[in-house]
Structures are given as structure tokens and as C-alpha cells.
């Protein structure tokens, strides 16, 4: 992508209130089988969120998807919550706002624009649980983890902070990916 086009998009990101983002090479996105294993075993959302496994492409298909892009941006969000449940309202708000950006990037001529949410969908209070039953299918997007992205390894390549947290009093570092081209 030319420097001019990048600058145009950066102005758009700023217009939407985003300052904490970096351009990344999609080929640096680490896709790993272990991520899918963690979604399948050990995550309470398995089978109950229409944008999470098993309602997503296979790990190999995810790898192929990322291989089809030349340009992407990662957006960093930091937050501390009083109780774990408060995370969902914040996620919903962030994801809905990001969708507005995805749409504007698309309308700017980037027909491949595709957003990976900051966390699992959370648009509805209770998720339909199955892709075909999704209540807002035009808006629902998978999170990077649902697409088998090793978010830790990927964002660390670009100097972003991310650690395993042991207590909710610690600040969460979350990431959304916008596939652009």
C-alpha cells in the first residue's frame, strides 16, 4: 500500500478516535493449533458463541485467510474492570464502534476489509450459539483467538504489551485486528 493511502487510512482511524494502533504485515500473524485446542477445551464459550469454535473455519483455513492479505492494522485497548462480568459491556461497546470503522474502510475502496473483534462478539446479551442462528449476522465477527491467532506472539512482535494476568485488578491489554489490503 502506498504511503499516501496509508496516511488516508490513518486519518480515518484518528477520526474514529483511535490513536493506539500499528500497521502489521499479515504474514507476521502467528496462527497455531494450540490456540484452537484452548478454545475447544477449557473455554466456557465453546459451542455457546456463534463467532467462536466450532462455528469458525478450521485452523488451516484461518492460515489461508491471513495469507491472502498484504496489509493489516492492530488496535490496542487497555482496561481494568471491577468484576469479570463488566468485561462484556465494554467489549460490546468497543466492538460495535470498530464495526463502524470497518465499514468506512470498506466504503473507502478496500473491498477486502474485515475486522477481527477485540474479544468474542458480545453484541447480544445471550448469544444464539450457532452461526446459522446468529441474531445479527451482518455485524458478528470472530475474535483473533477464534481464528487461531496466537495474539501473544503476534502483538509482541510489534512491541505491544501483553501478559497472563492473575488478578482482575490488573489492566487487560486487548487487541482487535483490521484486515485491510
- Per CB under 6 A, residues contacting ligand SF4 are 49-51, 121-124, 127-128, 134-136, 139-140
Q: Which is nearest to 176 in space by CA: 153, 158, 155, 157? A: 155
The minimum distance between CB 152 and ligand SF4, in angstroms, equals: 24
The minimum distance between CB 119 and ligand SF4, in angstroms, equals: 11
Give the number of C-alpha atoms closer than 13 A to the C-alpha of residue 33, restricted to the C-beta side. 1
The minimum distance between CB 49 and ligand SF4, in angstroms, equals: 6
The residue (of 81 and 128) whose beta carbon lies closer to ligand SF4 is: 128
Q: How far apart are CA 114 and CA 178, in angstroms?
A: 6
The residue (of 9 and 50) whose beta carbon lies closer to ligand SF4 is: 50
The residue (of 129 and 181) whose beta carbon lies closer to ligand SF4 is: 129
The minimum distance between CB 40 and ligand SF4, in angstroms, equals: 18
Distances (CA, A) of 162 to 5, 15, 64, 91: 30, 26, 26, 17
Q: How far apart are CA 180 and CA 106, in angstroms?
A: 8
Amino acid at each position: 500500500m502506498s504511503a499516501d493511502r496509508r496516511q488516508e487510512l490513518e486519518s480515518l482511524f484518528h477520526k474514529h478516535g483511535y490513536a493506539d494502533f500499528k500497521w502489521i504485515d499479515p504474514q507476521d500473524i502467528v496462527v497455531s493449533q494450540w490456540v484452537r485446542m484452548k478454545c475447544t477445551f477449557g473455554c466456557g464459550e465453546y459451542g455457546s458463541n456463534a463467532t467462536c469454535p466450532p462455528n469458525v473455519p478450521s485452523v488451516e483455513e484461518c492460515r489461508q485467510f491471513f495469507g491472502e492479505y498484504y496489509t493489516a492494522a492492530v488496535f490496542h485497548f487497555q482496561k481494568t474492570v471491577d468484576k469479570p462480568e463488566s468485561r462484556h459491556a465494554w467489549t460490546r461497546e468497543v466492538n460495535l464502534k470498530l464495526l463502524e470503522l470497518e465499514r468506512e474502510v470498506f466504503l473507502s475502496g478496500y473491498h477486502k476489509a474485515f475486522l477481527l473483534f477485540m474479544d468474542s462478539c458480545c453484541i447480544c446479551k445471550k448469544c444464539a450459539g450457532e452461526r446459522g442462528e446468529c441474531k445479527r449476522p451482518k455485524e458478528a465477527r470472530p475474535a483473533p483467538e477464534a481464528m487461531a491467532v496466537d495474539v501473544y506472539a503476534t502483538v509482541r512482535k510489534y512491541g505491544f504489551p501483553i501478559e497472563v494476568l492473575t488478578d482482575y485488578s490488573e489492566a487487560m491489554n486487548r487487541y482487535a485486528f483490521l484486515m485491510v489490503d
